[in-house]
Chain A
């Protein structure tokens, strides 16, 4: 192990402290994540992310995050933003990557660079209603990590495996979730 302290910019002490505190107070662990979305024109929409609920109270941020979604020109759209399914890839990639950093910090592995490349396969006969046997969503997602870290190959593989084990988005994608959509 190197003499200098490992620093991946993750405050593991704070995370471990939170883990301990929330073990004692599980009700504070109940979070609600939110987004809102407004239709612009055609397939173009504008979403914002701001407040969330957690640690027993409403939490606010100083910044509102904005996301434009649209479809590319081959779908006869204006390409004002990434497609919604690409946002799903972004969500998975960023969740796994954050996990790699956190696990590496906890295991005292210095990361030098981490790059994830994702590809989701899709047969669009599903969304176009051409073939009822084809699902709408991805038929599979491939994630490739390129990681430069001060650790051997198996330790790096273990970082990526543990990151999947603890990832919220990985869980959301790999396991069923009830979705209730209302119209008010």
Chain B
């Protein structure tokens, strides 16, 4: 059984079908449910069209370098589900999973299922990760998560404090500020990245230089790599770079990480300068990797000349505090990440932080698998483009596990 009919679940379905392994795909809504119901209106995929390569299915349109709108993502995944005739049980929500002698007993709102193996492919973005700090927000200030956010019209007139400067925070901050709601952006750890480098999409560079293919068992500290925030990217038709400098240019006010609320005032860390230094240095190292790859592969003449971007500009003394009442802030948008929802999983596989123990997606319980999480098996694992390789690897493991079990049962 596969839980979740998004790109990861569908890719796994295709790989299992190739091996003639009987399966169903449980889906709480319809195919591509999160993309349909949990994303804001203007969002486009951060990866270019050509890059969504699913097993036996990829982009065939005339705009390979474009970025899909949400309706286009939904069409793409719907098309995939139909092409592969995925056995999707739509409108079926898993409510409990228990281990038993023959595998797993899965309770749903449409009755019970029994399966030998279970692939959890619900994605990494089920619950907005709002910090405890949100409990102390003064009355009169509205908290909004990116999951509830659709467009600026739903946000009260007045200032907005956007917390978090990864892809979500920078995109929504940009949109809200342009809508006439002055944005203050609280900036913690973030990964600055250009949309285009030497005339090519950064995703092209990461793809050809093998950065996306780096494996979980090849890198230094996998736990840390899994916690690294998403690239500060946007997919816009203009292919513009949406970094902190671009936001400063339109008048967004930058401050440090949002660390406390005291006496009706927000408190920001004094670490903004270092957060920006760390990010600039990290981006420089990534661009060095691309330059080295271009030189080694003799393509220096095929791409534009190597160059570097201006350092992130910040004020000499960024604000350390903000009085909600005086500043005119009416809304806080928590772009502080997401986490998976395992509330229905009654199997002893959790570490003390509530994460599922797994090695490259092979969970610490027989026949249980994970997909679609950040750096699950490769740097690209959470991307649509990461599903194919992971599904091939994990379906191979799953098939071997079933064979082994059948052999034991038959002996």
Contacts and interface: CB of A to CB of B under 8 A. Distances in A.
Contact of B269 (A26, A158, A175): A175
Contacts of B319: none
A176 B277 contact: no
Nearest to B317: A140
B259 interface: yes
Contacts of A165: 274, 278
Nearest to B256: A174
Contacts of A173: 270
Given A26-B352, A175-B259, A157 B269 contact: no
Given A26-B352, A170-B271, A176-B259, A139 B281 contact: no
Given A174-B256, A176-B259, A176-B262, A161 B267 contact: no
Given A175-B269, A176-B267, A161 B259 contact: no
Nearest to B284: A154
A164 interface: yes
Contacts of B267: 175-176
A165 B262 CA distance: 24
A83 interface: no
A161 B284 CA distance: 14
A162 interface: yes
Contacts of B256: 174
A139 to B, nearest CB: 7
Contact of A157 (B262, B270, B281, B352): B281
A174 B260 CA distance: 12
Contact of B270 (A154, A158, A162, A174): A174
Nearest to B262: A176
Interface string A141-159: 0000000000000100110
Interface in B123-170: none
Query: Taking each of A139, A157, A173, A174, which has the highest tally of chain B beta carbons within 10 Å of its own beta carbon?
Result: A174
B142 to A, nearest CB: 24
Given A140-B317, A176-B260, A176-B262, A161 B269 contact: no
A174 B317 contact: no
Interface string A166-180: 000011011110000
Interface string B272-284: 0010011001001
Nearest to A177: B260
A174 B271 contact: yes
Contacts of B317: 139-140
Nearest to A176: B260
Given A173-B270, A174-B269, A174-B270, A154 B281 contact: yes
A164 B274 contact: yes
B259 A157 contact: no
Contact of B277 (A26, A161, A175): A161
Interface in B266-304: 267, 269-271, 274, 277-278, 281, 284-285
A158 B281 contact: yes
A157 B257 CA distance: 21
26 contacts: A154-B281, A154-B284, A154-B285, A157-B277, A157-B281, A158-B278, A158-B281, A161-B274, A161-B277, A161-B278, A161-B281, A162-B278, A170-B271, A170-B274, A171-B271, A173-B270, A174-B271, A175-B257, A175-B259, A175-B260, A175-B269, A175-B270, A175-B271, A176-B260, A176-B262, A176-B267
List of 9 A-B pairs having minimum Cβ-Cβ separation, nearest first: A174-B270, A164-B274, A176-B260, A174-B271, A161-B277, A161-B278, A158-B281, A175-B259, A174-B269
Given A157-B277, A164-B274, 12 more contacts: A139-B317, A140-B317, A158-B281, A161-B278, A161-B281, A162-B278, A164-B271, A170-B271, A170-B274, A174-B256, A174-B269, A175-B259
